[in-house]
Chain A
Amino acid sequence: MKDSLIALSKDALSSLRDLAPIVLVIAVFQAFVIQQPVSGFLSIVFGGLLVVAGLTFFIFGLRIALFPIGEDLAHSLAHKGSAFWLFTFAFVLGFGTTIAEPALLAVAEEAAEVAVGAGVIADTEEAISNYAMGLRLVVALSVGVALILGVLRIITNWSLPIMIIGGYILVVIVTTIAPAEIVGIAYDSGGVTTSTVTVPLVTALGVGLASSLKGRNPMTDGFGLIAFASLTPILFVLVYGIVMQWI
């Protein structure tokens, strides 16, 4: 019990540290540059406390429940699993962690509201939640595929720069035929997918895999999975935009 309390307060401190620079910068700008009363100040402070509490509970829960199982699984599958299960695991890990990613949830909803404002989708609750969910599913699917590619690369020892640069070139080509209103959301989704939930589990998979293969250095070969997970969402969301345009 005492240990959990210590762990919980450590998580609380790190959530506070996440928020601190934002609070500091905004406070300085409000005090010295803008110098105007802030409307809804109390609601913002209360919301800030909710953010810190929520993030603290979220990360604490992940650490005592999901991370140990996920990391164990990643290690044992990397060491003795069959190729089929390894790829299946890579896919569901990418898909599942991305669906649970808070930043993606937030951005997908914001994107849906902007789409309503621009008249791209109807202003009904159903249309909004469908749009946001569609976006999240596409991004989650793309991260699943990214991890399959990344695992394949670690096993076959293909060149990471060539694959990533090839991906970039593909992104630039697909952008030219994608509808303009999807481009910004697509490019942003690359950076949104990989944070709190995804990075620890995915890193465990990569490093576990590289350390179980002969002649690989976990320090250098274990990385690169996140790189794929930041690239494929751009491509998939662009294609999603093109396909939705036809329907």
Chain B
Amino acid sequence: MDLIVNAFLFVFNSALDVAPIVFFLFVFQLFVMRERIRNVQQVLVGFVFVTVGLGLFLVGLEQTLFPLGRLMAQQLTNPEFLFELTGHIGDTLVWQDFYWVYLFAAAIGFSTTLAEPALMAVSIKANSVSGGAIGVWGLRVAVAIGVGVGVSLGCYRIITGLPLQYFIAAGYVVVIVQTAMAPKMIIPLAYDSGGVTTSTVTVPLITALGLGLAEAVPGRSPLLDGFGLVAFASLFPIIAVLAYGQLSVIRQTKPVAVDEEEELPEEDKHAL
């Protein structure tokens, strides 16, 4: 019984979440454009799908992505697990002891970004904007490495408790310097790519990972240190796309092919 009431509540809540955009679109269509809505039936069915889908997704999120992110953070920072690996214990742990956390973060960032459909769309557009100079696959791999390094660096920040704004401000400086040197046509695309690479599934998982880390590592507070992974995951794609744009210009002037993946980690080091 409780389950039915809960499910009903979730669906009702998600109907409220979707209501504003549906209302605005209808008002504009009917009163500003003065056009009838075609396929009213299909639109209504679609609205039901959106509402039920959002409700189910949020229930699943509570049961899966949040617990998984926290669980991974707890297990990878578990004192016994770390002791087996390093022989250190408690307060004598140094940030290097958490290397499995960095590897896990990098793997999650890299793999989810590589599979992200929005990034594929951006890469195809970048390819045509640059007249083929920017490769679709090269760009995707570059951005995925960027996000992997970004999330990993974000975990390092949580574990050490350094202020988030220093890292982000340094990242902005890198972006500003790159903007001055990168080909003009790639700039709007690069700036947009920061927003599109973090998908609906990835965001909850890495948020839970960050909060779990801040809860598990001694001396860290979830509120002060736990957030910020998403910010890293949104900043590094901009740097990666700009770097790849710069690289493709260099490659055009030099006949000898440069290894594409070599350049990116170098760019990332400046952000440190």
Contacts and interface: CB of A to CB of B under 8 A. Distances in A.
B94 interface: no
A111 B227 contact: yes
Contacts of A89: 28, 32
Interface stretch (B56-64, B245-253, B264-272): B56-64
A164 B57 contact: no
B234 A51 contact: no
Interface residues of B, number: 103
A220 B131 CA distance: 12
Contacts of B175: 165, 168
A220 B183 CA distance: 12
Contacts of A117: 222-223
Contact of B68 (A44, A69, A106): A44
Given A115-B223, A181-B223, A100 B17 contact: yes
A31 interface: no
A85 B42 CA distance: 27
A160 B187 contact: yes
Contacts of B222: 114, 117-118
Contacts of B64: 44, 47-48, 50-51
A64 B42 contact: yes
B50 A25 contact: no
B146 interface: no
Interface in B54-96: 54-68, 71-72, 75-76, 81
Given A69-B25, A99-B20, A191-B231, A107 B172 contact: no
Contact of A168 (B17, B25, B172, B227): B172
A54 B62 contact: no
B199 interface: yes
Q: Which of B33, B46, B52, B179 has the most CB of A within 10 A?
A: B46
Contacts of B223: 114-115, 117-118, 120, 181, 184
In the A-B complex, the 10 residue pairs with the closest CB atoms: A65-B46, A47-B63, A184-B227, A61-B49, A57-B53, A54-B57, A50-B60, A58-B53, A54-B56, A96-B21
Contacts of B207: 106-107, 110, 188
Interface stretch (B108-116, B134-142, B255-263): B108-116
B83 to A, nearest CB: 14
B233 interface: yes
23 contacts: A18-B112, A22-B112, A25-B108, A43-B63, A44-B64, A50-B56, A51-B57, A57-B53, A61-B50, A65-B46, A77-B28, A106-B207, A110-B207, A118-B221, A175-B165, A183-B164, A183-B165, A191-B231, A191-B233, A195-B199, A196-B199, A221-B188, A230-B191
Contacts of B194: 190-191, 227, 230
Given A73-B25, A195-B200, 17 more contacts: A18-B115, A51-B201, A54-B58, A61-B51, A64-B49, A66-B46, A72-B29, A77-B33, A100-B20, A103-B200, A110-B66, A161-B187, A165-B176, A184-B225, A187-B231, A190-B234, A220-B129
B219 to A, nearest CB: 14
B200 A196 contact: yes
B53 A188 contact: no
B132 to A, nearest CB: 13
B200 A223 contact: no
A199 B168 CA distance: 24
Interface in A116-170: 117-118, 120, 160-161, 164-165, 168-169
Contact of A51 (B49, B65, B116, B233): B65
Nearest to A51: B60
Contact of A54 (B17, B43, B59, B211): B59
Given A50-B56, A106-B207, A230-B195, A95 B165 contact: no
A81 B33 CA distance: 8
B160 interface: no
A105 interface: yes
B195 A191 contact: yes
A226 B60 contact: no
A223 B201 contact: no
A6 interface: no
A245 interface: no
A61 B46 contact: yes
A215 interface: no
B17 A55 contact: no
B45 to A, nearest CB: 7
A65 B43 CA distance: 4
A24 B201 CA distance: 14
Contacts of A243: none
